Amino acid sequence: MSKGSGRRRIQTVAIANRGEVAVRIMHACRELGIRTVLLHSEVDVATRAYRMADARVCIGPAALNESYLSIENVVNGALAGGADAVHPGFGFLSENADFAQAVVSAGMIFIGPKPESIRAAGDKISAKKLIEQAKAPTVPGYMGADQRIESLVEEAVRIGFPVIVKAAAGGGGRGMKVIRSRAEAAEQIASAQREGQAAFGSPVVFLEKYLDRAKHIEFQIFGDFTGQVVSLMERECSVQRRHQKIIEEALSPSLTPELRRAMGETAKRLAESAQYQSAGTVEFLLQDGAFYFLEMNTRLQVEHPVTEMVLGIDLVKAQILNAAQEFMVWPEESLRPHGHAIECRIYAENPYQAGMPSTGPLLGVSWPEGPGRRFETGVETGDAVTSYYDPMIAKVIVWDETRLRAIKKMKATLAESVVLGVHTNIPFLREMLSHPEFIDGAMTTQFVGQHFPEGLAPRERTELEKAFQMEAEKALLSSGDPAQGRTGFSDPMRLDAWRNV
């Protein structure tokens, strides 16, 4: 549906990202008949996204500040590639209002919310006004300007321990510390300030009461260019390690229809207050039947596929079409969730060594196709996992008619997934999916810390694995794979991860 007058044609989209999300965006563009330009760093050439793109522009070396986080390089790269629109994916510059503005000022379309909306909703301190307007309940805390350590310690005592200190500019679970007592407060606050400065360029922190048996429930929202906003219901992301999500699902097994309605309405009001356009997520914590606003993410979310699977929609295409002013939100009555979807994030890490990152050439990657299975990945056999970027190499998503069937399908799918050359967290995911608390749907954000504090206990390799390792070592040595010399291997046991039994 088009409004006619305002339509803006998009012929070429520049993708300011890498890995699986770059591939995801390319799929949407291809299906819409749109040309893609991948903006990539010097080291990101042996990748699936690089091979898939219609055109490529190198925007700098591996160092983030000189490529994916450089507004100037990204904007110039997009212009050089002849793009009329830029999709930021997630992470990197995706929630940077200055970047969105720079794209618009350069005469291109930013595929996402308006810079003002990003500014208003982007971090929790700046979102204060929206929170009040939308009457969103929040966790008790302190968000004041007085950033002296003594004052912050006093505020923490007033809130009552445990307290969580967060870097205002933080994200991705970084810059957060849980403070259990007054004795450790000053040290933890100082450490969060340092981390905020180093990772995000700002030492400003805020405090919140730490909810120690909460579930993470987030609502997908979408606003269109006409000002309509819909709630696309929730995802549950309680399975987290160090505040980072590992397993996500839609819908949550824990919401009553009343809670779903109340939380969805709150999310919608927040988005409306921000005059929000495009895909966004409102995150909440849920504890003892009460919900609290956590933050709003003004971008596509890593876990968006589970929402797509239960609602039968395509959020990335909707983002692109909305940016071209061709899309109006789905009528509320058409949004009927069907079945259950689960996503597992596949990380290149050693689950037997507390999740130590694992890098090296990928000698073999194979995903077991089947009904209701979806694989989102940025790497293929022959590519390498390097230490420059996030260790997430893929996402496995399954859909089935019920939650229990979806869990079983995920376990079967992971059992047949092959990643050879680096360790992955697949064995760990399978253990978590088998845990009674997860199966019951009762898990909280403490689930991993409580049941798997050290990851997985080391185990003996099977005879089959040992035999395979020998064969793979031989093949690798005789192939003279150039990737071997370039990246090296992270550990000598890498080949036992060939099949995650």
Beta bridge partners of 394: 346, 377
Joined tokens for residue 107: 């005469």
Q: Which residues contact 248 (CB under 8 A, 6 or more apart)?
A: 235, 236, 237, 239, 302, 303, 306, 342, 343
Please work out, in degrees rounded to the nearest 5, the angle formed at the alpha carbon of residue 200 by the alpha carbons of 198 and 203.
70
- 229-241 and 215-223 beta bridge pairing: antiparallel
* Closer residue to ligand ADP (CB): 124 or 395: 124
Instruction: Collapse the DSSP code of 25 into the 3-class scheme (helix H, G, I; strand E, B; otherwise coil) and give the result.
Output: helix
Give whichever of 281 and 490 is closer to ligand ADP, judged by the CB atom: 281
* SS3 of residue 457 by DSSP: coil
Cβ proximity to ligand ADP, 243 vs 451, nearer residue: 243
Q: Which of 48, 241, 269, 299 is catalytic?
A: 299
Of 232, 221, 226, the residue nearest 328 (C-alpha):
226
What's the CA gap between 248 and 352, in Å, rounded? 22
Q: Closest separation between CB of residue 207 and ligand ADP, Å? A: 9
Identity of the residue, 114 or 177, whose beta carbon is nearer to ligand ADP in the bound complex: 177
Helix/strand/coil for 120: helix
Q: Indicate the length of the chain as a whole number.
A: 501
Shorter beta-carbon distance to ligand ADP: residue 172 or 372: 172
Structure letter (DSSP) for residue 330: P
Q: Show the tokens assigned to 150.
A: 């003594």
Tokens of 159: 């809130």
Q: Which of 49, 55, 51 shows the shortest CA–CA distance to 34?
A: 55
- Min separation Cβ 274 and ligand ADP, Å: 17
CB-CB contact of 196 with 185 (8 Å): no
If you ran DSSP here, which 8-state letter would residue 95 be given?
Answer: T
**Which residues sit at the interface with ligand ADP, rule CB under 6 A?**
139, 164, 170-173, 208-211, 214, 216, 240, 243, 283, 285, 294-295, 445
Amino acid present at 297:
N
Q: How far is the CB of 148 from ligand ADP (least distance, A)?
A: 22
Residue 85 or residue 179: which is nearer to ligand ADP going by CB?
179
Read off φ and ψ for residue 495, nearest 5 degrees.
Answer: -75, -10
User: Least distance to ligand ADP from the beta carbon of 122, Å?
Assistant: 10
For the CB of residue 113, give the shortest distance to ligand ADP in the complex, in Å: 17
- Shortest Å, Cβ 446 to ligand ADP: 9
Q: How far is the CB of 401 from ligand ADP (least distance, A)?
A: 28
Q: What is the DSSP letter of 329?
A: P
Q: How many C-beta atoms lie closer than 10 Å to residue 162's C-beta?
A: 14
| Nearest by Cα to 432 from 192, 226, 246, 159 | 246
Instruction: Round to whole Å and give the CA distance between 254 and 245.
Output: 17
For residue 385 the two structure tokens come to: 């996992």
State yes or no: is 299 an active-site residue: yes
Smallest gap, in angstroms, from Cβ of residue 347 to ligand ADP?
16
Question: Which of 82/173 has CB closer to ligand ADP?
Answer: 173
Q: Which is nearer to ligand ADP, 295 or 308 (CB)?
A: 295
Q: How far is the CB of 392 from ligand ADP (least distance, A)?
A: 14
Please, which residue, 282 or 433, has the CB nearer to ligand ADP?
282
Residue 15 CB contacts under 8 Å (≥ 6 apart), including other chains: 22, 25, 26, 36, 37, 38, 39, 49, 53, 86, 87, 89
Cα–Cα distance for residue pair 242/227, rounded to 1 Å: 37
What pairing do the DSSP bridges indicate for beta strands 360-361 and 384-385? antiparallel
Catalytic residue set: 299
